[in-house]
Amino acid sequence: MDLRDLKLFLHLAESHHFGRTAKAMHVSPSTLSRQIQRLEEILGQPLFLRDNRTVQLTDAGEQLKEFAQQTLLQYQQLKHSLGQHG
């Protein structure tokens, strides 16, 4: 799991749509789907409930969303801190 995976996941969690997320994040829908499946395999839990048109977060997805938001915020803070002192 890396920062890009977390960014893809968060966008999908907000848009609820693979096609919109894939377009916005400049990846193919199949690449996005594989990345989400990989996250689900790593965590051993489904992250989204899927239907023909949209997705919704599962409880595990909600937990990952909180983690991803905090992680990306901390990463941005670290980059800012290093930029000011490095």
Give the CATH number of the domain where residue 14 resides. 1.10.10.10
Domain extent at residue 21 = 3-85
Confidence class for position 20, pLDDT limits 50, 70, 90: very high
How many domains does the chain divide into?
1
For 24-58, how does the pLDDT look when each residue is reduced to its tens digit (9 = 90+)?
Answer: 999 999 999 999 999 999 999 999 999 988 999 99
Q: What predicted TM-score, i.e. pTM, was given to this entire model?
A: 0.90
Q: CA dihedral defined by 25, 27, 30, 33, rounded to 10 degrees?
A: -30
